[in-house]
Amino acid sequence: MLKKYGLIGLLMIFAALLLAKFGVEPYVFAFTSLIWYGYIITADSIVNKLKGKSLLSKPRHFVYIASLSIGFWLIFELYNVVLKGWFYDSNGLVAWVFRIIAFSSILPAVFETADLLNATKIFDRFKFRHHNINKNLAKLAAVAGMIFLLLPLVYTKPLSWVFVWTGFLLLFDPINYLQKERSIIGDFQHGKFGLALALFFSGYIAGFLWEFWNKLAHSRWSYTVPILENIRVFEIPALGFLAYGFFALELFAMYIFVSSLIKKLRY
């Protein structure tokens, strides 16, 4: 089931687990980036085996996605400055260098997982009749998304994370639809649910692995959200874990919006 380069990914995962076990300084800071890129390479090799193409088969595009990933996550870090939902145990230069590398893996990890789910054709059966989408409702959703993203800046309570984890989707997916770019709304209009389901579940798969591997890491992040904090998925309160599916959809909407914007600026 693996292309040969998938063995490199497996070796990277194994090396990361050894780092976690023996805690060799300063290499422990590389744990998260090493294990995630090991996962990405392994998943990509399976996708390539099943479909004959994958993200890593287009290296320049992969680097582009990884670069966007850093920028996207730094936006969420800025929200965290205001809402204080998590903090990092280590904050030195070496820790942050490897942390930025780990940030670059977020978007590829979600997309690779979605590609892997799609490669299994598990969601191919989810097709329904076409629906007409009211463009005014799409515009209203975009306005709601903008309001959602502004609210946490003035209402800095923990529940404002709900607005952050849904606002980018509400804002950018309708804009993508209205601009005739790929969108979840557009897929729904044509009775297609496969992409949305693949992204949604990839968010929870990736989220589970993020929290599981974070539990193993010597340099980890911890959460401060005081909402049902005794019910946790590893380190994260269970209520926070529910956001991962929507987070994946947000990342896709942000990716399409930025990519369409770059395309328009280029031409």
Q: Which of 118, 145, 129 is nearest to 50 (CA)?
A: 118
Domain ranges (residues) in the chain = 6-266
Q: Model pTM?
A: 0.92
Element counts in the chain: helices (H) and strands (E) = 11, 4
C-alpha triplet 250, 253, 257: angle, nearest 5°: 140
Q: Which of 58, 213, 45 is nearest to 115 (CA)?
A: 45
- pLDDT on residue 4: 85
Maximal CA-CA distance, the chain: 58
- pLDDT on residue 126: 67
- pLDDT on residue 189: 87
**How far apart, in whole angstroms, are the C-alpha atoms of residue 45 and residue 240?**
31
Cβ neighbourhood burial of 10 (10 Å; 0-12, 13-18, 19+): middle
Q: Is the dihedral of CA 252, 254, 257, 261 positive or negative?
A: negative
**3-state class (DSSP) for residue 131:** coil
DSSP assignment, residue 160? G
3-state secondary structure string across 45-57: HHHHHHHCCCHHH
Residue stretches of the chain with pLDDT short of 70: 1, 26, 126-129, 226-229, 266-267
- pLDDT on residue 265: 73
